[in-house]
Amino acid sequence: MGDTSSHRIGGRRHVVRIVIVLAAAVVALINIAPVLWGVATSVRPAAEIFAFPPSFLPGDLTGEHYAQVLSGSFTRNLANSLIYSTVATVAAVLLGAIAAYAFDRFRFPMRRPLFGVIVACIPLSMGAAVLVIPNYLYFAALGLLDTPVILPLLYLGYNLPMAVWILKGAMEGIPTELDEAAKIDGASRLRTFRSVILPLCKPSLAAASMFVFIGAWNEFVAGSVMVNTSAYRPVQVAVYQFISAFGRQWGPLTASAVLALVPILLLVVFFGRYLVAGLMRGAVKG
């Protein structure tokens, strides 16, 4: 009787695993299918894009759409996004680490409410369209509209709360005894922070860096409103330029989207493990 019951339980678990795997495969297919279709469209000749019935695999391959995209200002816009996102990432991780250390190791008035405000601002990293008008008026008063500094500042402000939250969670897992031992050895607060705390937070630093970079790279609304000069546009706005009142240029549109996706794919492929490790160590705990 016991063997039969164990066999039934084992069989149910096996069925549950199969269902979970199939569900994950369906979700993955739903998410990746548009990307694969876009890649296929980007290498189709213009005459095949509107062929009916459509086929997933292109008949003839062409690089004409990529050539058209790269012959314009798209390369400059791609470089702009790399610079904007990198500057915002470095600044957010540096300031976020300092703020997280202060919130975790120091006791000062309004510490908990202030950290609660930071946590409440985390949704900014997932889109802050509601702040476009106030930000526009504020930066217009400062004379920073349509300049190369406005987008890194906005990206920093949008994504800094996420960096602080992740890094504070990581620092909570570092025993304060290490700070005390470093103090006994004559290390200052700054030396302890630089030589003890930060090396132990490397996975979370990488996770925060990836979150900030991806959030900055994918931002569209601020880039389309705050910048008008083509030389200062980010890549996401440059992709949108292939959609006009006269129709969509599907070949160049998908080619530019694929080019804009490549840096993020490379980032996830080579550093994705740090993202998972950092979240498990920092953000989940926090």
pLDDT tens digits, residue range 122-173?
876 666 677 888 889 999 999 999 999 999 999 999 999 989 999 998 888 8
Beta-carbon count within 10 A of 146 CB:
13
- Predicted TM-score (pTM) of the model is 0.84
Q: Which of 40, 155, 135, 37 is nearest to 92 (CA)?
A: 155
Average pLDDT across the chain, whole number: 84
Report d(CA 234, CA 275) in Å as an integer: 25
The percent helix, strand, coil of the chain (3-state, each to 5) is 80, 0, 20
For the cut 50, the answer to whether the pLDDT of residue 286 exceeds it is no
pLDDT of residue 160: 92
Residues 212, 92 contacting (CB under 8 angstroms): yes
Residue 238 predicted with pLDDT over 60:
yes
- From the number of C-beta atoms within 10 Å of its C-beta (0-12, 13-18, 19+), residue 70 rates as middle
Q: Is the pLDDT of residue 285 over 50?
A: no
The predicted structure's pLDDT at residue 247: 63
Tell me the two tokens of residue 67: 């050539």
* Mean pLDDT, residues 82-111 taken together: 93
Highest mean pLDDT among 3-7, 83-87, 120-124, 217-221: 83-87
pLDDT at 284 over 50: no
Element (H, E) at 244: strand 243-244
pLDDT at 232: 92
What's the Cα-to-Cα distance from 185 to each of 56, 188, 201, 247, 265, rounded to whole Å?
A: 66, 9, 21, 69, 44
- Over residues 193-214, the pLDDT tens digits come to 888 888 988 888 988 999 899 9
Q: What is the pLDDT of residues 8-52, one digit of tens each?
A: 666 677 777 888 888 988 888 888 888 888 888 888 887 777 777
What is the distance between the terminal CA atoms of the chain, rounded to a whole angstrom?
46
Angle among Cα 112, 127, 275 to the nearest 5 degrees reads: 70
Of the candidate ranges 38-47, 99-108, 211-220, the one whose mean pLDDT is the lowest: 38-47
